[in-house]
Chain A
Amino acid sequence: QSALTQEASVSGTVGQKVTLSCTGNSLNIGSFAVGWYRQISHGAPKTVMFGNSPPSGIPDRFSGSKSGTTASLTISGLQAEDEADYYCSTWDYSLSAVVFGGGTKLTVL
């Protein structure tokens, strides 16, 4: 069981806006920046959001936000190439460890 909770699956059509969520508690998401990672066919993860900022090279269709103990990754103008598994992570103060969500499989219909 993961310390952070993500939807198991989310789907959307090309051009649509989708939001993935990542829920934790006050000692992890409530206190520290959240990272979001895209993984295609179990290749190496690629960071798509670092806190609320996308790394260079990530299209501005990707945006991140946080409210209390829930972080969100929003993809606007969904494209077929966005189909992937997405994971969130952050530092957990009580565990003194990095914690991950279980991952969300994003399907582009």
Chain B
Amino acid sequence: EVQLVQSGSEVKKPGTKVKISCKVFGYTFTDSYLHWVRQAPGKGLEWLGLVDPEDGETIYAKNFQGRVTISADTSTDTAYMELSSLRSDDTAVYYCAPARAETPFNIWGQGTMVTVSS
């Protein structure tokens, strides 16, 4: 059974950074890209970017370029998303989801709440 287990909630101050993890089970980690999507309170879904665990290549959404770093560790089947220069409007639930190239998401992680507050 495919499962994605994300790290726990985080509370951060503005200007700092957060790094959250997503450990995958039940499929070959390098067979799919690993995407990150977020949802701010009361808002819709927003894509941040992806990593190809096979070679570490990344693609980031324009809105987050320069602030987001997505990586993958094939030794632990874990992907990471680091967001820097945090602002209050980065307060959101962050989800990981695997998908093959240019295909929709079939399964999602449980989400990680990140709260940015002074």
Interface residues of A (CB under 8 A from B): 2, 32-37, 42-47, 50-51, 55, 87, 89-91, 95-103
- Digit string of B93-118 for contact with A (CB within 8 Å is 1, else 0)? 10100000011111111110000000
| Minimal Cβ-Cβ distance residue in B for A56 | B106
- Separation in Å of the A10 CB from the closest CB of chain B? 16
> Which chain A residues lie closer than 8 Å to B11 at the CB level?
none
**Beta-carbon contact of A97 and B105 below 8 Å:** no
**Beta-carbon contact of A35 and B104 below 8 Å:** yes
> Which chain A residues lie closer than 8 Å to B44 at the CB level?
2, 87, 100-103
A-B contact pairs, 11 of them (CB 8 A): A2-B44, A32-B103, A33-B104, A35-B106, A37-B105, A43-B111, A44-B111, A97-B47, A97-B59, A97-B61, A102-B44
How many B residues have CB within 8 A of the partner chain? Answer: 24
> Which chain B residues lie closer than 8 Å to A43 at the CB level?
111
Report whether over half of chain B's contact residues are helix, strand or loop; otherwise say mixed.
Answer: loop
Interface residues of B (CB under 8 A from A): 35, 37, 39, 41, 44-47, 50, 59, 61-62, 93, 95, 102-111
- Separation in Å of the A37 CB from the closest CB of chain B? 7
Complex alpha-carbon distance, A101 and B47, angstroms: 11
> Which chain A residues lie closer than 8 Å to B61 at the CB level?
97
- Separation in Å of the B78 CB from the closest CB of chain A? 18
